[in-house]
């Protein structure tokens, strides 16, 4: 009996990995092997906002399972239902590709399914049971080898974030300069940040009357968080302001218009932006790849509301001592270690993005943005360096091809006339 179609299970967790890694990889997989069955297994993540499964459903996977299904399945010593074909065997060969979160969870899932486990990661630590580690650059590959990953099991394929920025026509701004405001993708932080961004638009509009403002709204934000943010329920946290929503426009107290745009329009907005204001995260790399000079701010006015990775997150949940522990951990990381918080600055070792950390204010951040807006030569210099130093596209297709080579699989021949 002939073998069935190949079974691919992509394992991921948080919003950044889903939009910047999983989405372009799944699209490349569909182009290169339309016959493969591709499922997406979400695992628990402290950065999750609850809307990850709904977002992942838009990517075109054959199945999506939730973190709750993963936890239930592992407790019952089985994989979540729906990750592989329910048809009788032979089902076809399979693979689990870890793309974010705890690699051990992917290994556990691979054991339940009987599939080999591969991993793509920016972090070089070794995970037992992973047959091959794919990374974004040679520096990470060297670190992985130093940490015990055999040289033959680590490979550079490139940065998937570059592929996430699909070719798009520039948006048509309503004014000049065109300023992008990113209020994050996590409800618990966005409710504090949205009022700050509205107040910031007010301050900048007073100095640049012809400016236009766009807020690419994350698909992971709940309607309740957006409403609370615009209403300014937590405006006091960072000294922000309430706004008034009129359809897809938010009016600030001073009369500035902030247009809310769907996340699908983000690539076009990036191509049209003069500057952007954001918080740390994968979007700083997207802005870098698009060549947008940006102000990246990490507010420490209330450190306990900032998500932490790994053990720091779980320690912060302890009764009574959790918030003080988290407050101290964030301040230690940002203030004492002096580590860049934007990915372009981390990758290049240069100060290509303006970073504002600590006790932030609307006036202070507005002044940092104004220095960029008032110096077109400096903006051009930063933009050129970003474009020259950021990753190039093509990593998603390389990753898929290298997965097939590693497993000894053959990609189907492209249809006649297809140059792929």
Residue 311 pLDDT > 70: no
Same-domain status, 187 and 128: no
* pLDDT tier at 212, thresholds 50, 70, 90: very high
214-252: pLDDT as tens digits? 999 998 899 999 999 999 999 999 999 999 999 999 999
**Is there a domain that residue 154 lies in?**
yes
Ordered DSSP codes for 102-129: -HHHHHHHHHHHT--EEEE-SS----TT
Same-domain status, 215 and 283: yes
Same-domain status, 135 and 183: no
**Is there a domain that residue 414 lies in?**
no
**Is there a domain that residue 419 lies in?**
no
Same-domain status, 123 and 94: yes
In terms of Cβ atoms closer than 10 Å to its own Cβ (0-12, 13-18, 19+), residue 210 is: exposed
Same-domain status, 298 and 380: yes
Same-domain status, 47 and 149: yes
- The whole-number pLDDT of residue 56 equals 85
**Is there a domain that residue 172 lies in?**
no
Would you state the torsion angle of the CA atoms of residues 147, 316, 70, 395, taken in this order, to the nearest 10 degrees? -50
Provide the domain count of the chain.
2
**Is there a domain that residue 2 lies in?**
no
Same-domain status, 199 and 99: no
Same-domain status, 371 and 398: no
* Cα 43 → chain centroid: 16
* pLDDT tier at 417, thresholds 50, 70, 90: low
Structure-token pair, residue 226 = 């957006």
Tell me which residue range forms the domain holding 291. 178-389
* Cα 363 → chain centroid: 28
Helix (H, G, I), strand (E, B) or coil at 177: coil
**Is there a domain that residue 416 lies in?**
no
Core vs surface per residue 92-127: b (16+ CB within 10 A) or e: bbbbbbbbbbbbebbbbbbebbebbbbbbbbebebb
User: Which region, left, alpha or beta, applies to residue 203 given φ > 0 means left and ψ of -120 to 50 means alpha?
Assistant: alpha
Which CATH number characterizes residue 291's domain?
3.40.50.2000
More confident residue, 92 or 155: 155
* pTM as predicted: 0.77
Same-domain status, 142 and 244: no
* Cα 262 → chain centroid: 16
Same-domain status, 135 and 191: no
152-187: pLDDT as tens digits? 999 999 999 888 877 567 899 999 999 999 998 888
Residue 365 pLDDT > 80: yes
Instruction: Tell me the C-alpha distance between 29 and 35, whole Å.
Output: 10
Same-domain status, 235 and 372: yes
Same-domain status, 109 and 184: no
**Is there a domain that residue 413 lies in?**
no
């Amino acid at each position: 009996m002939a073998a069935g179609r190949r079974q691919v299970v992509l394992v991921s967790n948080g919003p950044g990995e889903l939009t910047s890694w999983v989405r372009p990889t799944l699209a490349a997989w569909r182009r290169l092997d339309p016959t493969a069955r591709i499922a997406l297994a979400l695992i628990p993540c402290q950065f999750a906002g609850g809307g990850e499964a709904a977002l992942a459903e838009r990517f075109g996977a054959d199945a999506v399972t939730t973190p709750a299904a993963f936890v239930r399945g592992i407790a019952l010593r089985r994989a979540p239902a729906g990750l592989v074909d329910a048809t009788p065997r032979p089902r076809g060969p399979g693979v689990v590709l870890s793309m974010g979160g705890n690699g051990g969870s992917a290994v556990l899932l691979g054991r339940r399914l009987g599939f080999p486990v591969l991993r793509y990661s920016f972090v070089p630590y070794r995970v037992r049971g992973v047959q091959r580690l794919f990374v974004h650059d040679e520096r990470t590959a060297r670190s992985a080898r130093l940490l015990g990953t055999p040289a033959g099991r680590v490979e550079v394929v490139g940065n998937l974030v570059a592929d996430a920025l699909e070719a798009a026509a520039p948006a048509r701004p309503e004014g000049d300069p065109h300023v992008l405001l990113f209020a994050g993708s996590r409800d618990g932080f966005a409710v504090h940040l949205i009022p700050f961004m509205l107040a910031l638009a007010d301050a900048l509009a007073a100095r640049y009357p012809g400016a236009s403002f766009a807020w690419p709204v994350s698909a992971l934000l709940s309607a309740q968080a957006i409403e609370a943010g615009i209403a300014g329920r937590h405006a006091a946290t960072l000294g922000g302001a309430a706004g008034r929503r009129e359809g897809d426009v938010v009016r600030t107290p001073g009369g500035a218009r902030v247009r809310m745009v769907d996340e699908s329009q983000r690539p076009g907005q990036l191509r049209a932006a003069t500057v952007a204001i954001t918080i740390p995260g994968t979007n700083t790399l997207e802005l870098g790849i698009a060549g947008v000079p940006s102000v990246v701010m990490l507010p420490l006015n209330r450190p306990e509301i900032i998500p932490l990775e790994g053990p720091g997150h779980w320690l912060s949940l302890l009764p009574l001592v959790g918030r003080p522990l988290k407050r101290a951990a964030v301040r230690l990381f940002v203030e004492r270690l002096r580590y860049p918080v934007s990915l372009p600055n981390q990758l290049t070792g240069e100060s290509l993005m303006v970073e504002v950390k600590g006790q932030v204010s609307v006036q202070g951040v507005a002044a940092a943005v104004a220095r960029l807006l008032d110096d077109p030569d400096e903006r051009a210099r930063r933009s050129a360096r970003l474009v020259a130093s950021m990753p190039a596209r093509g990593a998603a297709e390389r990753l898929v091809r290298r997965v097939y080579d590693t497993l000894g699989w053959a990609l189907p021949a492209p249809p006649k006339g297809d140059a792929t």
